Amino acid sequence: MGQAPDEARLLWEETRNLRGLMAQPLYRDGLVYLLDRTHGLCCFELATGRILWNDEHRLTPPGRNPHASIVWAGPGQILALNSEGELVLAQVSHDGYREWGRKRIVGPTWAHPAFCGRWVFARDDEQLVCIELPSPDRER
């Protein structure tokens, strides 16, 4: 059984280099992937808060409020819609960020996309689009 709420204790704290903004963090295998306002996408250990890497805003451009909606696309793979309206497929791991592809599907946006199987629904201030992602079978 877990601890009672009054038995909770702070394990670590970081207020300078981990400031999540406009995107939910993703967790897998003890690591957290977070869009940080200053450094872009970063990876840190959940147990210690130790930052392993950041992408220096390769996923989404820097700005006052950088934005990207990020979801898991498979083991170690993320799919993100960034503030420029670009859909980005990348691999993330303990070792870093590796981009596999990027395609602009809408104009600048802060709207979160919707995913349904191989379909992505995204919008900007002018349009709503539906994009079919390639099937892994078509890639062979």
| Residue 125 within a domain | no
Residue 117 in any domain: the answer is no
pLDDT tens per residue, the chain (140 residues)?
A: 577 878 888 889 988 888 887 778 999 999 999 998 888 999 999 999 999 999 999 999 887 778 899 999 989 999 999 999 999 999 999 999 999 999 999 999 999 999 998 999 999 999 999 999 987 665 54
Asked if 49 and 13 touch (Cβ cutoff 8 Å), the reply is yes
In a domain, 57, yes or no: yes
Residue 44 resides in a domain? yes
Q: pTM for the full model?
A: 0.87
Give domain status of residue 59, yes or no.
Answer: yes
What single string gives the DSSP state of each residue in 35-95?
EETTTEEEEEETTT--EEEE-TTSSS--SSS--EEEEEEETTEEEEEETTSEEEEEEEETT
Closest by CA position to 111, among listed 21, 23, 19, 13: 23
